[in-house]
Amino acid sequence: MSIADPKHPLPDLADLLRFYADAGVDEALFDEPADRFEESAATTARAQAPQRTEPPPTREAAAQPAQARPVPAMAVPDEAQAARARELAREAKSLEELREIVSAFDGCNLKFTAKQTVFSDGNPQADLMLVGEAPGRDEDIEGLPFVGRSGRLLDRMLAAIGIDRTTAYIANVIPWRPPGNRTPTPLETEICRPFIERQIELAAPKVLVTLGGPSAKVLLHASEGVLRLRGKWKTHATASGTEIAAMPTLHPAYLLRNPAHKKLAWRDLLEVRARLETLRG
């Protein structure tokens, strides 16, 4: 097929880019573009070139063990890593210590595909803490939770009840972006669970808001879907026995796809504002 053949037109570039984005291919692998046509031509030329016959290896060379290629260190998630995460999380005496522990932790494979650890944003002394599931592409680039489209919507939602990032503390259950924004596996979530639970315990907010079904299931041990769960006060119990009022609500990314449900999230936020005002006296 010729590139200029009108009988076989090339796909529209915008459609092709949308296809890649929907498939999770949202980043370049290399800083410089690669000419695949040139690579293909070089491969063909090598295949057509006369093959040089190598002499058989000597007996001494054959006896030498082949050198293995270095394999990058990558953790395979298992129960031992989850136990190690629990032990490390208990050692943290402050949020700053916990941040350093999470940044240095190498027991979750997600860390090796993410650009950086996304620990938190906002005011750790705030009465309100919000927890989502995992960072996305924009969060992975900036190293802060909720800074993309869903983050901008979250900012507007909080502003509607008189709160911003100086009066709220924001984090995720998973501190590393899953490749292609895929759903974290149950074991990956279990490995990261001790870190977010200790983070909540150290921040000690008066009210906790779980954003979306996954964070509600992890932090509130909920089995219902988020549409059934939202709008009803729950309790998050820390390891030390402290109980924190928790409101499950819809994730901003869900609201971007289903704008008609913004009214439901608005009702939840009004409940949160009323509870904060009551707790503050």
Structure tokens, 77: 């998630």
Question: Is residue 153 within 8 Å of residue 252, measured between CB atoms?
Answer: yes
Is residue 74 over pLDDT 90?
Answer: no
Residue with tokens 């964070």: 215
C-alpha to C-alpha distance for 120 and 123, rounded to whole angstroms: 9
Domain CATH number, residue 140: 3.40.470.10
What sign does the CA torsion over 67, 68, 70, 73 have?
Answer: negative
Beta bridge partners of 122: 169
Residue with tokens 């997600």: 110
The pTM assigned to this predicted structure is 0.74
Question: Is residue 279 within 8 Å of residue 127, measured between CB atoms?
Answer: yes
In a domain, 45, yes or no: no
Helix axes 186-203, 213-220, angle to 10 degrees: 70
In a domain, 67, yes or no: no
In a domain, 68, yes or no: no
What sign does the CA torsion over 117, 123, 126, 130 have?
Answer: negative
Pairing of strands 234-237, 243-249: antiparallel
In a domain, 35, yes or no: no
> What confidence score (pLDDT) does residue 14 get?
67
C-alpha to C-alpha distance for 118 and 56, rounded to whole angstroms: 54
Residue with tokens 């909080």: 158
> What confidence score (pLDDT) does residue 77 get?
63
Contacts of 116 (CB under 8 A, 6+ apart): 140, 143
Total tally of structural domains belonging to the chain: 1
27-53: per-residue pLDDT in tens? 555 455 666 566 666 666 666 666 555
Is residue 9 over pLDDT 50?
Answer: yes
In a domain, 110, yes or no: yes
Question: Is residue 242 within 8 Å of residue 213, measured between CB atoms?
Answer: no
In a domain, 27, yes or no: no
Left if phi > 0, otherwise alpha if psi is -120 to 50, otherwise beta: which for 231? left
C-alpha to C-alpha distance for 147 and 135, rounded to whole angstroms: 9
Give the three-state DSSP class for 49: coil
75-87: per-residue pLDDT in tens? 556 789 999 999 9
The range of the structural domain enclosing residue 159 comes to: 79-280
Is residue 97 over pLDDT 80?
Answer: yes
Amino acid letter at 36?
R
Give the three-state DSSP class for 159: helix
In a domain, 73, yes or no: no
In a domain, 251, yes or no: yes
Q: Which residue has the higher pLDDT, 12 or 188?
A: 188
Q: Closest Cα partner for 118 from 134, 94, 97? A: 134
Q: Which helix (H) or strand (E) holds 149?
A: helix 149-159
